[in-house]
Amino acid sequence: TAEAEKIKSPLTEKKLDYQPKITKTEPMTPMSEKMPVANRIIKRGEVYYTNLDDAQGHEQKNDKDTKRRLVVVVSNNKQNEQNKVVVIIPFSSKVHNIKPTFQVPTYFQGKPGKAKCEQVRAVDVERLLGAKQGNLTEKEMKNIDKKLLIVLDLVKYLGKPGESR
């Protein structure tokens, strides 16, 4: 615009007829944490780091040191393909007090932990940070499925063995 401030360019010493755009820079983060997840197919049983910084009260929060939390995706693959929201369960490394009704012991990346099924929640895929970290075992996922039936009070819909549904 005509009212734009005239600025001298240090390279040419000419006056510029525009206002340079000043952008806010963010602190550097490793490339693996900036890798876009939204364009990938996310599958059930995959483990990712995520940002749970909006947690309140007794909700699972980010790790104090790393500012992130490992989670496992539990939503079905069809939903994961069609939506930008996935259902996750956060992990905890505190294994001294596993609640057998709601939590599943895990062994991931060489470390014992637990999947906190009572903390199940939906998150946008943009919260998933970087590359997939791995997968839980089939046995761990079956145990998570059983705990989710209890947490979500769905056991009553299973019926008795031999009963048609």
Domain parsing of the chain, residue ranges:
40-156
* The pLDDT of residue 15: 52
Query: Which neighbouring-strand residues pair with 92?
Result: 114
* The pLDDT of residue 94: 84
Q: Write the burial class of residue 30 (CB in 10 Å: 0-12 exposed, 13-18 middle, 19+ buried).
A: exposed
Task: Report the percentage of the chain scoring pLDDT > 70.
Answer: 65
Say how far apart CA 156 and CA 150 lie, in whole Å.
Answer: 9
Q: Look at residue 130 and tell me whether its pLDDT is greater than 50.
A: yes
* The pLDDT of residue 23: 42
Handedness of CA 5, 9, 15, 21 (dihedral sign): negative
Which CATH entry fits the domain spanning 40-156: 3.40.630.10, 2.60.40.10, 2.30.30.110, 2.60.120.10? 2.30.30.110
Least confident segment among 18-22, 106-110, 135-139: 18-22
* The pLDDT of residue 136: 95
* The pLDDT of residue 69: 85
